[in-house]
Amino acid sequence: MKANIKQVRSVNKKFNIFTSLRTNPTPPDPSPYAPLGNTTYAIKDNFATRKEPTTCSSKMLEPYISPFDATVVTLLDQSGSSCIGKTNMDEFAMGNSTIFGHFGPTLNPVYGQAQDLVESYNETQFFTKDTVSKDDGEVITSELAHDDNHPHRSSHSYITAKLYDNAFERISQDQRIVGGSSGGSAAAVALDLVDFSIGSDTGGSVRLPACYTNIYGFKPTYGRISRWGLVAYSQSLDTVGIMSKDLNTLWKVFTSLDLSDPKDPSCLSESTRESIAIERLNSKKNVGKKFKVGIPVEYQLEELGANVKSSWKMLLTKLQESKLIEVYPVSVPSIKHALPTYYTLCTAEASSNLSRYDGIRYGYRVKEDECNTEVEPEFITTRNSGFGAEVRRRIILGNYALSSYGYDSHFMKATGVRGMLIDQFNRIFRDRNCLVHKKHFQSTAGVDMLIVPTTVSEPPSIVDFSQMDTVKSYMNDVCTIPMSLAGLPTISIPYGGDSMGFQLVGQHGQDYKVLEFARLVEAAIAK
């Protein structure tokens, strides 16, 4: 679609989806062969871009403009897609609501909203002097200025929203959380403002909001898509995710981004990709064959809502009747420990990653008169006022897990459980984990896919969520976390009514099989 700036700005006033919008989004040089020509997208504000700030919805990075583009941004540019703006998120991707970030809440388009949250827009212009790397043609900002005194500078312009002071009071009673942390990216797709959007998924941050907004949300295998330029939260879990209403678009975007990248050491190497390339061809062969679908008994959770349970059963029955699947019960015992394991590991990595925000290197820094420099050189005050409550909480939790008294009992133990979980997943899948040489089954045994719910229940109302105990709010991630810990490719598909979705999960590296299966499921449901 073509970007409709007027409509985007108008819709955004209600739902507060964007941290910044490009004033005049211009499509990259049109090529008739560009696979994503004539498409638009929005990207989560934790991806580095040169044309506007990269804030992570944090006061800490509010003024920060990256000198380089994330690999994802460069690749989408090459594929012909046009970025219209950057989307709101939970601060540093820590959360599952997109409510408490520095730029206010993003609302859920599935539910009614009467009043505007955004009072007005401000336009900001800045100028960069660009250099092109001789090695790989990458464009880097070598100078950045807010006034233009130089003829050779390129000019950039973006608009930001100013919220009403009483924005929270303006939220309608029916509103429910949009989910997070990629809430803005999900809302932009749900409202048809873009063809697709890019999010990041560390523990479910793409799948959960996709489920809450009735769209597709795909978290590929860990390492499939380069994380270069994605601000690190927990880099052993962080993945780049894609959201769309259209599976074909989603597939095309994934194909454009599914490339190795020397800038990201965790990105799968060419040789690993070659070893699993056959899986892409085989995905077509699966058509007409029955997929063996495993149902992990550990997902029979106490918290599972009655309507989720009945929709799950309905979906499986429908797919069985369409002769698409055979259902097998499987067991992955370590799933029971996934939630505490995840919160131990991600907070530990986060505490290390976020120590770089000290007011010296990036973005925000308190003014000297706001800080008693006799006691400390600005960084304690900077970090206290620059980070929100949830970020501070996770940094403290992570520091505990890494401290000399918590290291063995928490961090190492969680690392061990993660290893067990991966091993147990390897035992139930028919396909080989592309990072493991040993295969547990002959090609005929083991399951192809898992089908499990994306959430245990419908999204809580914003009021309820605001009063919810923090640890209880972590429970919203219980269904998505096991795949994050094991790095498995997973797509959340909308099914069963508003804000309900189910995850189709494949073995590590089987991304195309997952996407192909999603297509077949989509067709079966439509019948």
Partner 1 sequence: MHPSRNVPDPAELAPGFQDTGRSIYHSVDSNISNIDFNRANIPLVEMVTLPDFQDVEEVRAFLQTYIKLVQDLQVCTGDLETGALRVDVNINVTGHERVEIKNLPTISAIVNAIRYEAKRQTKVVLDANSNSPATGIETRGWDGRKTYHLRNKESAVDYRYVPDMELPKVKLDVDSLIPQIQLLLPQPISERLDTLMSSPHDGGHSLTLRDARILVNNDTLLEFYTECWNNISDDRIRLKLINWLVHELLGTLTKSEVEFSPNLISSSCFTELIVSVESGEITKPNGKLLLLHLVNNREDQQKKVLEIAKEFGMLASKTADAHASSEVENVVNEIIAANKKVVDDIQNKGKVKKVNFLIGLCMRQTRGNVQPQVFEEKIKQILGLR
Catalytic residues: 44, 181, 205
Cβ neighbours, 10 Å, residue 133? 10
User: Strands 40-44, 139-145: parallel, antiparallel or unpaired by DSSP?
Assistant: unpaired
* Binding residue for partner 1, selected from 63, 265, 333, 497, defined by CB under 8 A: 265
Least distance to partner 1, CB of residue 238, Å:
10
Which secondary structure element, helix H or strand E, spans residue 255, and what is its range? helix 247-257
Q: Is 236 in the site for partner 1 (CB under 8 A)?
A: yes
- Between 201 and 349, name the residue whose CB sits nearer to partner 1: 349
Is-contact 397 343, C-beta < 8 A?
Answer: yes
Interface residues for partner 1 in 411-430 (CB under 8 A)?
411
- Between 315 and 401, name the residue whose CB sits nearer to partner 1: 401
Is-contact 500 270, C-beta < 8 A?
Answer: no
Q: What is the phi/psi pair of residue 258, to 5°?
A: -80, 75
Is-contact 224 490, C-beta < 8 A?
Answer: no
**In sequence order, what DSSP letters do the residues of 75-98 get, joined into one string?**
HHHHTT-EEEEEE--SGGG--SSS
| DSSP label of 192 | T
359 Ramachandran zone, left/alpha/beta (phi>0; psi -120 to 50)? left
* Binding residue for partner 1, selected from 4, 124, 235, 473, defined by CB under 8 A: 235
- Between 438 and 527, name the residue whose CB sits nearer to partner 1: 438
* Binding residue for partner 1, selected from 4, 23, 255, 266, defined by CB under 8 A: 266
- Number of residues interacting with partner 1: please give it, by CB under 8 A: 13
Q: Is 272 in the site for partner 1 (CB under 8 A)?
A: no
Binding mask 335-354 for partner 1 (x = CB under 8 A): -------------xx-xx--
Least distance to partner 1, CB of residue 57, Å:
24
Contacts of 302 (CB under 8 A, 6+ apart): none
- Pick the piece of the chain touching partner 1 (CB under 8 A) from 133-141, 212-220, 297-305, 396-404: 396-404
- Pick the piece of the chain touching partner 1 (CB under 8 A) from 136-144, 153-161, 400-408, 459-467: 400-408
Which secondary structure element, helix H or strand E, spans residue 342, and what is its range? helix 338-353
- Between 24 and 404, name the residue whose CB sits nearer to partner 1: 404
Is-contact 213 500, C-beta < 8 A?
Answer: no
Name residue 301's amino acid.
L
Closest CA to 146 of 137, 136, 158, 134: 158
Q: Is 214 in the site for partner 1 (CB under 8 A)?
A: no
Q: Please tell me the distance from the alpha carbon of residue 5 to that of residue 83, in angstroms, as a whole number.
A: 12
- Between 261 and 516, name the residue whose CB sits nearer to partner 1: 261
Helices 71-78, 247-257: axis angle to 10 degrees equals 110
Binding mask 348-387 for partner 1 (x = CB under 8 A): xx-xx-----------------------------------
Is-contact 488 221, C-beta < 8 A?
Answer: yes
Q: What is the phi/psi pair of residue 214, to 5°?
A: 60, 40
Least distance to partner 1, CB of residue 248, Å:
33
Least distance to partner 1, CB of residue 134, Å:
22
Is-contact 351 394, C-beta < 8 A?
Answer: yes
* Binding residue for partner 1, selected from 24, 26, 404, 442, defined by CB under 8 A: 404
Least distance to partner 1, CB of residue 234, Å:
8
Least distance to partner 1, CB of residue 71, Å:
15
Q: Is 275 in the site for partner 1 (CB under 8 A)?
A: no
Q: What is the phi/psi pair of residue 428, to 5°?
A: -95, -20
Least distance to partner 1, CB of residue 36, Å:
29
Contacts of 36 (CB under 8 A, 6+ apart): 76, 79, 80, 81, 252, 253, 256
- Between 208 and 397, name the residue whose CB sits nearer to partner 1: 397
Q: Is 402 in the site for partner 1 (CB under 8 A)?
A: yes
Peptide bond into 185 cis (omega under 30): no
Q: Is 399 in the site for partner 1 (CB under 8 A)?
A: yes
- Between 266 and 322, name the residue whose CB sits nearer to partner 1: 266
Least distance to partner 1, CB of residue 93, Å:
16
Q: Please tell me the distance from the alpha carbon of residue 381 to that of residue 367, in angstroms, as a whole number.
A: 10
Least distance to partner 1, CB of residue 484, Å:
13
- Between 236 and 255, name the residue whose CB sits nearer to partner 1: 236
Binding mask 74-113 for partner 1 (x = CB under 8 A): ----------------------------------------
221 Ramachandran zone, left/alpha/beta (phi>0; psi -120 to 50)? beta
Q: What is the phi/psi pair of residue 199, to 5°?
A: -130, 180
Q: Is 403 in the site for partner 1 (CB under 8 A)?
A: yes
Q: Is 397 in the site for partner 1 (CB under 8 A)?
A: no
Judged on CB neighbours under 10 Å (0-12, 13-18, 19+), 188 is buried
Q: Please tell me the distance from the alpha carbon of residue 289 to that of residue 243, in angstroms, as a whole number.
A: 28
Q: Is 436 in the site for partner 1 (CB under 8 A)?
A: no
Q: Please tell me the distance from the alpha carbon of residue 121 to that of residue 23, in angstroms, as a whole number.
A: 11
- Between 142 and 403, name the residue whose CB sits nearer to partner 1: 403
Closest CA to 185 of 48, 41, 61, 64: 41
Least distance to partner 1, CB of residue 407, Å:
8
- Between 63 and 265, name the residue whose CB sits nearer to partner 1: 265
- Pick the piece of the chain touching partner 1 (CB under 8 A) from 31-39, 153-161, 240-248, 397-405: 397-405
- Pick the piece of the chain touching partner 1 (CB under 8 A) from 48-56, 175-183, 401-409, 420-428: 401-409
Residues that bind partner 1 (CB under 8 A): 235-236, 265-266, 348-349, 351-352, 399, 402-404, 411
